[in-house]
Amino acid sequence: MATTSNKLNILSFGIVLALYSNIVIFATLKKIVFLMNFKFLIKCFYLYFATTLLANAQQEEVIFTVEDTPVLASEFLRVYNKNLDLVKEESQKDVDGYLKLFIEYKLKLQEAKALNLDKKPSYIREFQGYKNQLSKNYLNDSKVTDALVEEAYARLANEIKASHILVKIDQDASPKDTLAAYNEILKLRERVVQEGYKKVQSDVHNGKTIFAEDLGYFSAFKMVYPFENAAYNTKVNDISMPFKTRFGYHVVKVFDKRKSQGEITVAHIMIENDEEKIKEIYKRLEQGEQFQALAKQFSEDKSSSSKGGELKPFSGGQLSSPEFEAVAFAIKNPGDYSKPFKTQFGWHIVKLINKKPLPDFKEIKAELINKIRRDSRSKVINDSRVKALKEKYKITKNPDALNYFKSILTKEYKVGRWSIPKNLTTDKTIFTIEDKVLTYGNFAEYLLKSQRRNINKPLTTALNNSYTSFLNSELFKYQEQNLINDNKDYAQIVEEYKDGLLLFDLMETEIWNAAKNDTLAVKTFYSKHKQNYFYKKRINAIVASSAKKEDIKKVAKLLKQNQPIEAIKKEVNTNNEIKVSFTSGELNYNHQALPKALKFKKGVSKIYKHNQAYVVVLIKDLLPESQQTFEEAKGKVMSDYQEIKEANWLKVLASKYKVEINKDVLAKVKAQINNK
């Protein structure tokens, strides 16, 4: 497997152009709904260039061939033009240079297929997984999804404070029990109207069959969708009419509606383990020093320290630390900051920079779509999809089928011990979808596998529900199986993924894993190129910083007198006040605590203004560039070794496979590009 560093360095055609094509790539990736690890991103670099033109009825000109495999001029032009606006270096826009990279890419694809990597079970499984995930974006009714997204966005803008009463019943309760529960919830609603919610709550809540609970404030996606609908459609101080969820019958009492907390931007100073250090920094804030300056000097969150500790905006529930969120949202005024507090990441001081309302709809639309697909709203989408498919496809049902299955579905089914009768006529048709035939045997197998979901349900209910589910699932399968013929956009992207995953497997086999496993060759490479692997210049130093110049002047004087650092701290930080902070150890020349204008020579420096503070540096020793050991340089060595190995490998492929360029077509392509 490639390391993080070498993955960024070794890709030839894919990486050279894909880095300039991230807009195109990630526009495609937005269609893919699942978490992507780094391996997936690297595959995507290849996927973009795995674009193959779907066969057209007319003949198209071939720009070159690899063995007997033609590459169309239209494919080359499409890839070239998509990259053109994003490519910054003129050399990358040169058609001949671009063609060379494209040929190398096609050579790799030819080799992958020659090695039968496309027939590996692991490749087939992974490709099928990507294909299935991708298809989800093309299968649902976008109009229904869009309506749900807009509704969710509107609800996220407001929070509701509510309580509810639930009369609990099973989803498959008998009509008698269902009616009894409904009558009970009607009576309880009337009591709430007459007596008030709190009185009824204290009387009826038993935590078993009846629940009367305060829910606090909530917004979209916090409750099941039917409950959310009832809450948002009920006015303040009103109580809803009874409604049903999978838990039973409810009424909801709405007490308040308010605007959401929105989004906040904060800055923080983080110290991983040193409680005394964070308290010291807090004292300096209390003494009037600038938060941004102290964050730049001391925060150990390297991703934010250079920006004065500022984090990206976030809303409630978005961070992985509830403690951090609670403190951040509790700060009332921009500019105010918290006391030191601890999370799983370390010690923090948080400063509120600003608060802003819910982001623009376009900014969070993709996120809302993903949430809707995981939420109980998905039933609305599925119901709409089923309705559309029943109208699109011809479905022919066997009218005798359900009666037959009623006769063979015994009481054993209710306890999960039913088995398919041996005399079942398995090949008899239960229904058809267009030309696809589903049989009694297919449905019997479905009943067998789903019986655990139907334990204790009435047999008629279980059979009817299973039949409906089976029909719907087969409709979905039929749609998905035919999607590649129905949707050209989907078909093209599937081809891109197919080749992209294949090339990743090839690189992993021929370059990444080969280099990883050939330790001797990598060490030999390191020995021959040691001059490329050195530590940068460093200093062994003490850095003192303060908001007040007079305090730093005092420190500089004491440093020149060779006073011990602990003695200097006691001298300048008196009366329990932290006036000066110190950083010491081996520091790179570009360390955040060092002034950019610092002269690197032994001794006490002059006083500098750096990061809104006054700084003096005692340089104890200058540490020159030093040779990295193999272990210290291993990541970079592996990357460099793999880059050279790939270049040599491409030469082998170029000699192994015959490439013929159609110069006449190439001339036309150049003319077309130059005439734009």
Give the H/E segment covering residue 55.
Answer: none
The dihedrals phi and psi of 616, each to the nearest 5 degrees, come to: -130, 145
Q: Are 348 and 281 in contact (CB under 8 A)?
A: no
DSSP 8-state assignment for residue 260: -
The pair of structure tokens assigned to 50 is 């795995």
Amino acid, single-letter form, for residue 626: S
High-pLDDT (> 70) share of the chain, % = 89
Structure confidence at residue 90 (pLDDT): 65
Fold of 534-627: Chitinase A; domain 3 (3.10.50)
- Domains 158-259 and 534-627 agree in fold: yes
- Domain boundary assignment for the chain: 1-114+487-533+629-676, 158-259, 263-357, 393-483, 534-627
- CATH architecture of the domain 158-259 equals Roll (3.10)
Q: Is 609 left (phi over 0), alpha (psi -120 to 50) or beta?
A: beta
Q: What share of the chain is helix, strand, coil (3-state, %, to 5)?
A: 55, 20, 30
Q: Are 501 and 43 in contact (CB under 8 A)?
A: yes
Q: Tell me: the pLDDT tens digits for 234-256? A: 999 999 999 999 999 999 999 98
434 Cβ contact partners less than 8 Å away, ≥ 6 residues apart: 393, 394, 478
Please measure the distance between the N-terminal and C-terminal CA atoms of the chain and give it in whole angstroms.
Answer: 43
Q: Taking the mean position of all CA atoms in its chain, how far away is CA 277?
A: 35
CA distance 324 to 311: 12
Q: Which of 156, 66, 182 is nearest to 114 (CA)?
A: 66
Q: Are 352 and 324 in contact (CB under 8 A)?
A: no
Q: What's the CATH class of domain 263-357?
A: alpha beta
Dihedral angle sign, alpha carbons of residues 589, 591, 594, 597:
positive
Average pLDDT for 323-352: 93
The mean of the pLDDT values for the chain is: 86
Q: Tell me: the pLDDT tens digits for 134-176? A: 887 788 778 888 999 999 999 999 888 899 999 999 887 888 9
Structure confidence at residue 88 (pLDDT): 56
For the entire predicted model, the pTM comes to 0.51
Q: Annotate 319-370 with DSSP letters as a single string.
A: SS-HHHHHHHHH--STT-BPPPEEETTEEEEEEEEEEE-SPPHHHHHHHHHH
SS3 label, residue 411? helix
For residue 42, CA distances in Å to 48, 160, 505 come to: 11, 44, 11
CA distance 129 to 208: 42
Q: Which of 666, 657, 663, 670 is nearest to 69 (CA)?
A: 657
SS3 label, residue 75? helix
Q: Taking the mean position of all CA atoms in its chain, how far away is CA 170?
A: 36
Structure confidence at residue 44 (pLDDT): 46
| β-pair partners for 609 | 614
Average pLDDT for 587-610: 94
Q: Are 434 and 148 in contact (CB under 8 A)?
A: no
Fold of 1-114+487-533+629-676: Triger factor/SurA peptide-binding fold (1.10.4030)
Kindly give the residue spans of alpha helices, DSSP state H, lying in 427-512: 440-450, 459-481, 483-486, 488-507
Structure confidence at residue 26 (pLDDT): 30
Question: How many CB atoms are located within 10 Å of the residue 403 CB?
Answer: 9
157 Cβ contact partners less than 8 Å away, ≥ 6 residues apart: 259, 260, 357, 358
Q: Are 188 and 165 in contact (CB under 8 A)?
A: yes
Structure confidence at residue 676 (pLDDT): 67
Q: Tell me: the pLDDT tens digits for 376-396? A: 898 998 999 999 999 999 999
Give the H/E segment covering residue 438.
Answer: strand 436-439
Q: Tell me: the pLDDT tens digits for 302-323? A: 999 999 999 998 876 567 676 8
Predicted confidence band of residue 326 (pLDDT cuts 50, 70, 90): confident
> Half-sphere exposure (CA, 13 Å, Cβ side) for 17?
28
Region of poorest pLDDT, from 215-219, 244-248, 422-426: 215-219
